Amino acid sequence: MNSPLLKQRRVRRWHRAIALITSVQLLLWTASGVYFAFIDIDYVRGHQFKTAPEPMEFATSSFLLNPVQATHVTLLQRRPTELIVGLHTTHGTEWRDSAGELLQPLTREEALVLGAARTVMAPDSAEWVAQNVVGSEYRGAPLPLWKLWESGDTSRVAYLDAMSGEVVSVRHNAWRWWDFLWSLHIMSYTDRDTIGTWLLKFFSVLALMTAVLGLWLFALTTRKGGYQ
């Protein structure tokens, strides 16, 4: 048995062994990548379920605020006749009314009314959300929130900022599939957001080795005129 043939068989065994380990994850990477490539990300994010607010006039002279420290401010209409201001700092956002007083959270009934006005939904159920849960649908959104949904269609959920009244996100099945496949793609199964887990690094190296060994094996077999 000549040395090139022995090397070819050894590379083939290495390639087969490593490919066997990485095959399932490679399939998951490919399947999730196909989903990401063919579905519109704006549809996934649920923008089509939100309604555009009506333009209105803002009279800044009506605000009576003492000097405050903030990186920037936001003026919003919360209720139909209520203008509020958001003071944004490095520590978070503080919402005040036109008299400079701290806002109270929206009630359940107010949240349902605003949810119906600012989405295409007709929510009739609400849940108070004040605690961040790892891997939740609302992760990254400011708390507290009102979780709103229609009792006849629980697959679509709106999350409304309990202080500002803004609809921060609408979650539906397409987003849930995206989130699930994303967790498989980046191999972050708990919080679904961590890039660079040790699993991802390990399988990335194995996938690279699979490709390199495959090219090496192709070069060896081509040089010898095919498999011996």
For residues 14 and 122, the model is more confident at 122
- Residues 11, 69, single domain; the answer is no
What Cα–Cα distance (Å) separates residue 80 from each residue in 119, 133, 146, 171?
15, 32, 19, 25
Angle between helices 198-223 and 3-38 (to 10 degrees): 130
Beta strands in 113-213 (DSSP E): 125-129, 145-150, 153-161, 167-171
Domain boundary among 139, 155, 171: 171
Q: What pLDDT score was predicted for residue 8?
A: 66
Report residue 3's pLDDT band, with 50, 70 and 90 as the boundaries: low
Q: Which among 212, 210, 213 has a CA at the least distance from the CA of 18?
A: 210
Residue corresponding to tokens 């379920």: 49
Distance of alpha carbon 165 from alpha carbon 146, whole angstroms: 9
Domain boundary among 171, 187, 203: 171
* Number of domains within the chain: 2
- Enumerate the β-bridge partners of residue 148: 126, 158
Q: Name residues whose C-beta falls within 8 Å of residue 41's C-beta, 6 or more positions apart in sequence.
A: none
228 in any annotated domain: no
0.85 exceeded by the pTM?
Answer: no
- Residues 54, 162, single domain; the answer is yes
Domain boundary among 129, 154, 171: 171
Flag the least confident range among 42-51, 136-145, 169-178, 219-228: 219-228
- Residues 166, 183, single domain; the answer is no
- Residues 185, 155, single domain; the answer is no
- Residues 12, 119, single domain; the answer is no
Residue 16, token pair as written in the block: 């087969």
- Residues 167, 213, single domain; the answer is no
Q: Is the pLDDT of residue 228 over 60?
A: no
Amino acid at 200: L
Distance of alpha carbon 166 from alpha carbon 8, whole angstroms: 63
63 in any annotated domain: yes
Q: What is the pLDDT of residues 17-39, one digit of tens each?
A: 777 778 888 889 999 999 999 99
Task: Give the structural domain span for 151.
Answer: 47-171
